[in-house]
Structure 1
């Protein structure tokens, strides 16, 4: 049984979906193209880049959350709000190399297996535009792809699927593996503030020490043969 099925359900602030099969396929096509172009297993694209900006993008995705301002109505029932996909939203893809991919990494869309993809309203941190320096990631060997790795692979929707990635991670592009290696090694020693990590991933940690310890385990799991998949806090 996959470890994800053994864990309690993990939820972020939004429950989101694509509104049609056509919208899902369009997102997958765009994300796979970005993955191959950028040699990135966790591409993040602005929602408008996939579906069109402003009113052109309507009707492709929905997100719903409990109203943070007024969770309960006068009748005691939960109240909900809908997410805004017209400004600041993103589409996330999390992929892994297909079995048997050579050491140079995936060369075509068929050599990428999808783990998950999903639309999400914008939050307080934009993974596409946030400066690396703001995250403490302006260090040698790290680029934007590591931000995407954190937001996607270690984000709330895919963090419990890390075991699926490990199975074929050796088939990722060599430069991508080195970016992830450098980023994890750096953050394990100097983790970002947990509030910032939550804004990027929607996975909460009690303190920076716990976050650094977890990222050290992820490093050991992906690069040092550590057998047990690290599990982030629920």
Structure 2
């Protein structure tokens, strides 16, 4: 099966399973989404959602976040991965936003210039808030794209390029969320029986199935 045919069929399955996928991180506005996504690096969404209610109650705006010091911020997020670095970045980010006028704007260069914000985080905000087609690729999507034969890229950047080439532009922002939800429900990283998976069973190569069954 050609790569494009695979992508078309996968898209149909994902649309049927998750027609309107919500962002799995709790937030109320562009700023709190930006903070939540930045916190989610190397941390589960569940853990982020556990710490953000108290954090956002104390510092749900750039002004309030900047008014705290990094040690105070760390007190709210200490259970997430890389917490000390993230606390410093949240404080720096808040000050950068204030210096730029105090608003989150839908501009790639602006978002990616913020402390702790990489391309993946910017992609989630651009797609989720500003409706700009963006395909946020994390390690989970990178893994599934390889399993399904949609990309053989060795980096998330290459995988992003490959996925953008086979999925329609208007689906990108939803598609990355659909793949995340599918991975959680049907396609985990470890102890996964590819032959029983609704997508891997037909999309993965025999070589891939054999490799992961060892």
Q: Structure 1 length as normaliser, TM-score?
A: 0.23
Q: Structure 2 length as normaliser, TM-score?
A: 0.25
Structure with higher strand content = 1
